[in-house]
Amino acid sequence: MNDTYLNKDTSLPEEIISAIEEIESFLCSGKWLLAMENAAESLVSHPDTVELLWLHARAAEMGNQIGSALRDYAKLRRLLPEDMDLLYDQADLLLSLGYIEDSLRLIGRGEDREPHAVEWKVLKSLAYSKTGRLNDSLKLMEEVLDIRPDDPYLLTETAAILYLQGDTAGAAATVNRALDIEPRYSDAWCQLAMIQLSLGDMYSAEKSFKTAIQYNNQLLSAWIGLGQIYLCLDEPEKAKSCFRQVIMINPNDQEACQGMAAVYRSLGESSAESDWLERAAYSDQLD
């Protein structure tokens, strides 16, 4: 999502500015439910405030409250039909939910209005990778890298595509280049860990996941990856701690719930395992 929404209206009432600051602090600490509740409360008296609607949508996404997030975007699009940041965010959300064709439709609109914008090429590349069009995805990403050759995010996404293509050496070289440019980039450390796991180097992967968490302790994929490693190493208590970190941030995370079920299975606690499997199934229904 695009942080510029919070800078678009300098004439907001002081009470709304204070509310926005508090909601942002909740989001930064992973307290999505508090953020969502506070935004909803402020929206009662200021129902068409774009900044509040956007923060409510952001909190809803974080908490996997997809229906609420989609409703927020629908209202935002009515309020700001020409806003390109909002169009991008909506396309990005649809892509993350697996609505690839709907996302590509919005991406097409964005490209028509901003034909030279790098962001639309990147999003289209990610959409192509999700549909298995890896060659097309890589071609687009390489075009963008010609424009921004030292962008750690683009390099990391390119490494992910190469990894999916089976080019492990190319993926490793690309993600290491990203880390040479930005050694604290947590997503790159997480991608490196995935590559190391595919090579059977579990201990290096453990170290990379830990480094990712050191730089961003809200990175759910790193916590889940680390938890899965501990399950493989037969260290269920360490795995449980990792999955609990995810659930504290997003109680409806399906992978974390499945991980907790696996933990209790390894501990021989069938009742707790069943509870977590039910919770995972419920999370799947929310998706």
CA 124, CA 139: separation in Å to the nearest integer? 11
Please give the average per-residue pLDDT across 20-45, as a whole number: 89
- Mind listing the pLDDT tens digit for each residue in 4-30? 445 545 578 888 889 999 999 988 877
The model carries a pTM of: 0.81
DSSP labels, 229-281: HHHHTT-HHHHHHHHHHHHHH-TT-HHHHHHHHHHHHHTT-HHHHHHHHHHHH
Question: Which domains are present in the chain?
Answer: 227-287 (1.25.40)
State the pLDDT confidence band at 31, using cuts at 50, 70 and 90: confident
- Mind listing the pLDDT tens digit for each residue in 52-72? 999 999 898 877 787 888 899
CA 153, CA 116: separation in Å to the nearest integer? 19
**What pLDDT does residue 10 have?**
55
Please give the average per-residue pLDDT across 121-129, as a whole number: 97
Please give the average per-residue pLDDT across 106-116, as a whole number: 94
